[in-house]
Amino acid sequence: MKYLAIIPFLLFATISRSQTPSALIMENMDSLAQWFQIPAYSLLIQEKKEITTQSFEGLSQLEKRKKNGPEYYHPIASLSKIYTAALFLKLEEEGKLKLDEPVNRYLYNSALEDHIQIQHLLSHTSEGEVGKDFLYSRRFGLLTEVAKNATLKSFPELIQEYILDPLDLKETAFLEEEVLEKHPVPSPYYYGNEGAEDGLYEFGVSAAAGLLATPTDFLKFFDQLVDGKMIKEENFQKMTTPFFAGSPYGLGLFSQQIGDQKVVWAYGQYDCFSSLFLYLPEVDVKVILQANNNLIADPARMIYGDLTTNLFALQLLQEIAGKYQLSLWSEEEFEQKCRVAEALAQSYLSQFDNAFYQQAISSYDHIFQAYPELDQNGSMAHLHGISFLKSVEAYRQLPPHQALDPHYLKLNVTLLKKQPHNPYLLYYMGTYYDMLQQPERSKPFFIQLVRQPNYSKNWYTVEATEWLEKKMTPKQE
């Protein structure tokens, strides 16, 4: 397999201004798509209501050699949450419910605490300290039942009645099996050791996911949200404003200050599909990027709320910044972000090929040497990247690369001081000591993780519980 040296090429391409903007963007996108084995991707950039870049690359169906095109309905996964947030704000405007009402008013046999409100589910602030802690949560899906019980209509009926019909979204549908017979949908693919492998559709519709849309129809929907054609302007502002100071999320949308710009964004991720949406309101630029594998989104761990861990986003934002003379970052800051994002992507890809493991190790060694301040001001994405490499080492029985351990420990300790109840940080610390074969030091972190109040069961609580059951005797426990 041929490996592409991403960073030198991308830095050169973004600095060069001899190309047209569209050609420059496509050169970067094509390079990333090749590296991530993306069979087909669609990119639309809209500036002040005018599509200025439109590209449909690759094959939407490898087995039939069908070229990608604007007619394809892409499963948008969590981009569906934008539609859900708009729906709930519209229902509130009509007096059907209130966002500050307890969720349990509309749920039967709920295990949630009574003071958790609808707006806390919409803003991913229902776990931990309610309304004050951000944790991207599966509880968002409970809004499916909330909407049904508040209106006595199914969730698809509500989306159709309040959004698809009045906004004339004729190229948006529900991800159900019959949709494959009605509309052109790209085939799903996994990343594979020898190239893209056949994947699966994840059928089902809920408040959290389940819509398909052409990129044009998605932008048509969002334009009408911005223009106040569905909900009031002040309610759209709620969607795009952090729910509390320091949160990266509003209602259905991430909102992040990058340099001198507010960037509203969202991502969608199934096992075999991914999407990325960017909106810069001050210059009125919107970008929608869709693919038929999950690598636009999955490697970047955007679940933590930082868009700049995504290589696609970095290149798109850099191009927009150059065109509009925005001050998002200095050249040095941009290079650092690119190198960190590349290392995170290499770490993700290391599960498929040992060459990526070696690249990631080399990248992280360089990063911590060049940017020692990351020990103190790095993010959970850094921890995830290194933790993933350690998991690969254990799985493949590779000699542990211990040079990263001090950086990993310092950063984890620093972040835990700021977020002492964050389940990801507790999990990373527990697994760190477990990999060092120090179970007594792992134990308190795993115990805290599984016993914390107001946290739903998730993969990290399952693994922590299994670890405690396996490693600790009843006497010790």
DSSP 303: G
Instruction: Tell me how far apart the alpha carbons of residues 24 and 28 are, in angstroms, rounded to a whole number.
Output: 7
Secondary structure (3-state) at 69: coil
Select from 243, 242, 245, 233 the least CA-distant residue to 263: 242
Answer yes or no: are the C-beta atoms of 362 and 324 closer than 8 Å: no
315-327 confidence digits (pLDDT tens) = 999 999 999 999 9
- Top-level CATH class of 38-80+156-324? alpha beta
AA identity, residue 296: I
CATH architecture of 331-471: Alpha Horseshoe (1.25)
pLDDT at 12: 42
Q: Which residues of 212-243 are buried (b: 16+ CB within 10 A; e: fewer)?
A: bbbbbbbbbbbebbbeeebbeeebbebbbbbb
User: Boundaries of CATH 1.25.40 in the chain?
Assistant: 331-471
Token pair listed for 332? 């040095």
Q: Spell out the alpha helix ranges (H) of 350-476.
A: 354-370, 374-377, 380-396, 405-418, 423-435, 439-451, 459-471
Query: Bridge partners of 355?
Result: none
How does pLDDT run along the chain (477 residues), one tens digit per residue? 233 344 544 544 444 333 455 677 888 999 999 999 999 999 999 999 999 999 999 999 999 999 999 999 999 999 999 999 999 999 999 999 999 999 999 999 999 999 999 999 999 999 999 999 999 999 999 999 999 999 999 999 999 999 999 999 999 999 999 999 999 999 999 999 889 999 999 999 999 999 999 999 999 999 999 999 999 999 999 999 999 999 999 999 999 999 999 999 999 999 999 999 999 999 999 999 999 999 999 999 999 999 999 999 999 999 999 999 999 999 999 999 999 999 999 999 999 999 999 999 999 999 999 999 998 898 999 999 999 999 999 899 999 899 999 999 999 999 999 999 999 999 999 999 998 889 999 999 999 999 999 999 999 999 999 999 998 765 544
Answer yes or no: are the C-beta atoms of 62 and 39 closer than 8 Å: yes
Instruction: Tell me how far apart the alpha carbons of residues 214 and 172 are, in angstroms, rounded to a whole number.
Output: 7
Q: ∠ at Cα 404 (399, 405), nearest 5°? A: 85
Instruction: Tell me how far apart the alpha carbons of residues 165 and 162 are, in angstroms, rounded to a whole number.
Output: 7
User: Boundaries of CATH 3.40.710.10 in the chain?
Assistant: 38-80+156-324
Secondary structure (3-state) at 424: helix
pLDDT at 25: 81
Query: Bridge partners of 44?
Result: 54, 288
Query: Bridge partners of 258?
Result: 261
Using a 10 angstrom Cβ sphere, with 0-12 exposed, 13-18 middle and 19 or more buried, the burial of residue 148 is: middle
